[in-house]
Amino acid sequence: MVDYLHQTDVAVIGAGPVGLFTVFECGMMKLKCHVIDTLDIVGGQCAALYPEKPIYDIPGFPKVMGQELIDNLKEQADPFEPVYHLGQQVIELQRTSTDRWRLTTSTGTTIVAKIIIIAAGAGAFGPNRPPLDGLEAFEGKSIFYYVKSREDFRGKRIVIAGGGDSAVDWALSLSEIADHVSVVHRRAKFRAAPESINQLTALANAGKIDLITPYQLHSLEGVGGRISAVNVATLEGEIKSLPADMLLPFYGLAMDLGPIATWGLGIDNKHISVDSTTMATNQPGIFAVGDIGSYPHKMKLILTGFSEAAQAAHQARALVYPDEAYHFEYSTTSGLPASS
């Protein structure tokens, strides 16, 4: 069992984009990291669910695919030699007599860390499924909640349901290769980035996308797991049938904190309450960054999580080295370690 006992400066829970950038920022503070994630790959939702989803709000990248972003973030973190513990979940957390934290995972791994930074995104996640009769028979065959490969949708008649960023972004992307794209939303107003909405409207005006509003999903037609039409309805009950080969319902993810909810942290509506200036939780030495952290007026963006990772790493250094003065330098003037 000795091989399963590790000691480190920082234990990062979550290997998504914000978790990976946390490793980089901690490395810049000369803090060693062990990273734990329930998935068997790094990258979180970006890698597991949206590897080919275009992302438009990363500074310096007019457009970057989810997997490309993850690859770059991992390469950026690699010089600091993080240790990854993938395919396992932290199931127990205890404070030691030396004021450190002992984490035990579902595979029996034990990590003793001075600092914990939780970057678990949406926690344990799963799709919010629409309440349609017979839905299960079509799932994985012609109904999908994620797009892992755009090519699977080439030449198909696609109905996208939802009004957020995922629905709008995928409508824009798949319109380039699909035979036809219809977007169903219960309101005429979408909840996506204004420029993306402008592009969606332009494609609709050009006849390349049909905007079906205000409608919501009503029922499915098809046999053998293959849909032939998606029926939608207004609030007044007016029914419209949309010929379709694929349905993509984008209604967000159901969030479950799992064991994190039992650690004595301040929980606010399935999120961890933090100090917006430090990312500190109510437990000493534990920080939360990215989507799982909550404070007034927070914007749930990847770049917000990146900034929070930097804040938490600076606070962590002060706790790990309380007697060591540190002068902050911009990354353009401080040196990166050489790759091993």
Q: What would the pLDDT profile of 263-318 be if each residue is shown by its tens digit?
A: 999 998 889 999 999 999 999 999 999 999 999 999 989 999 999 999 999 999 99
pTM: 0.76
89-106 core/surface letters (b: 16 or more CB in 10 A; e: else): bbeebeeeeeebbbbbbe
Percent of the chain at pLDDT exceeding 90:
75
| Domains of the chain with CATH codes | 2-125+253-320 (3.50.50.60), 130-249 (3.50.50.60)
pLDDT band, residue 98 (cuts 50/70/90): confident
pLDDT at position 1: 40
Q: Are strands 157-161 and 246-249 parallel, antiparallel or unpaired?
A: parallel
Q: Measuring CA to CA, how many Å separate 10 from each of 219, 277, 319? A: 49, 19, 11
Q: What would the pLDDT profile of 62-88 be if each residue is shown by its tens digit?
A: 999 999 999 999 999 999 999 999 989
What's the mean pLDDT in 166-179?
Answer: 94
pLDDT band, residue 39 (cuts 50/70/90): confident
List helix spans (H) across the chain.
17-28, 44-48, 66-77, 165-174, 194-205, 302-320
Q: Which residue from 68, 116, 109, 66 is spatially nearest to 87, judged by alpha carbons?
A: 109
Environment class of 192 (CB within 10 Å of its CB; exposed 0-12, middle 13-18, buried 19+) = buried
